[in-house]
Structure 1
Amino acid sequence: MAEQTAPPQSAGPDAPVTDPGKPDGAVVRDALGVGIAVGLSGFAFGVTSAGSGLTLLQTCALSLFVFTGASQFALVGALAAGGNPYTAAAGAFFLGIRNAFYGLRLSQLLALPRPLRPLAAQWVIDETTAVTLPQPTRRAARIGFTVTGLTLYVLWNLTTLAGALGAEALGDTGTWGLDAAGPAVFLALLAPMLRSSTERVTAGLAVLLLLGLLPVLPAGAPVLVSALAAPLVLFLKGRGTGPGETPTEAPTAPREAR
Structure 2
Amino acid sequence: MTEETPPDGADAARQVRRATREGLGVALATSAYGVSFGALAVASGLDVWQACVLSLVMFTGGSQFAFVGVIGAGGLAAVPAAIASASLLGVRNVAYAMRMAPVIGGPFWRRAAAAQFTIDESTAVALAQTEPRARRVGFWVTGVGIYVGWNLSTLLGALLGDLLGDPRAYGLDAAAAAAFLALLWPRLRQRQAIVVGVAAAVVATALTPVLMPGLPVLIAAVVAVVVGLFNWFAAPGAAPGFAEPDDVPEREGLP
Length-normalised TM-score, structure 1: 0.79
Q: Match for residue 247 of structure 1? A: 238
Q: Match for residue 256 of structure 1? A: 247
Structure 1 alignment gaps of length 5 or more: 7-18
Q: Distance in 2 between matches of 1:77 and 1:107?
A: 32
* Alignment partner of 1:202 out of 196, 199, 204: 196
Contact 2:33 2:150 in 1 (8 A): yes
Matched, 1:131 2:125: yes
Contact 1:41 1:182 in 2 (8 A): no
Matched, 1:37 2:29: yes
Deviation string, structure 1 residues 69-119 (Cα, Å, up to 9, x no partner): 111111111111125211111111111122111111111333243111221
Matched, 1:157 2:151: yes
How far does residue 190 in structure 1 lie from its aligned partner after superposition? 5.4
Matched, 1:61 2:44: no
Counterpart of 1:251, as a letter, is: E
Q: Match for residue 252 of structure 2? A: none
How far does residue 230 in structure 1 lie from its aligned partner after superposition? 2.3
Q: Percent identity?
A: 43
Q: Distance in 2 between matches of 1:30 and 1:24?
A: 10
Q: Match for residue 13 of structure 1? A: none
Question: Which sits farther off after the overlay, 201-210 or 89-98?
Answer: 201-210
* Alignment partner of 1:237 out of 228, 231, 236: 231
1:75-94 paired onto structure 2 within 5 Å: 75-83=67-75, 84-94=78-88
How far does residue 171 in structure 1 lie from its aligned partner after superposition? 1.7
Q: Distance in 1 between matches of 2:13 and 2:206?
A: 48
Contact 1:99 1:124 in 2 (8 A): yes
Length-normalised TM-score, structure 2: 0.80
Structural RMSD (CA):
3.0
Contact 1:70 1:183 in 2 (8 A): no
Q: Distance in 1 between matches of 2:27 and 2:183?
A: 12
Counterpart of 2:149, as a letter, is: L
Contact 1:45 1:73 in 2 (8 A): yes
How many residues are matched? 237
Contact 1:36 1:152 in 2 (8 A): yes
Contact 2:12 2:134 in 1 (8 A): no
How far does residue 194 in structure 1 lie from its aligned partner after superposition? 5.0
* Alignment partner of 1:28 out of 20, 26, 30: 20
Counterpart of 2:72, as a letter, is: A
Q: Distance in 2 between matches of 1:114 and 1:148?
A: 21
Contact 1:127 1:148 in 2 (8 A): yes
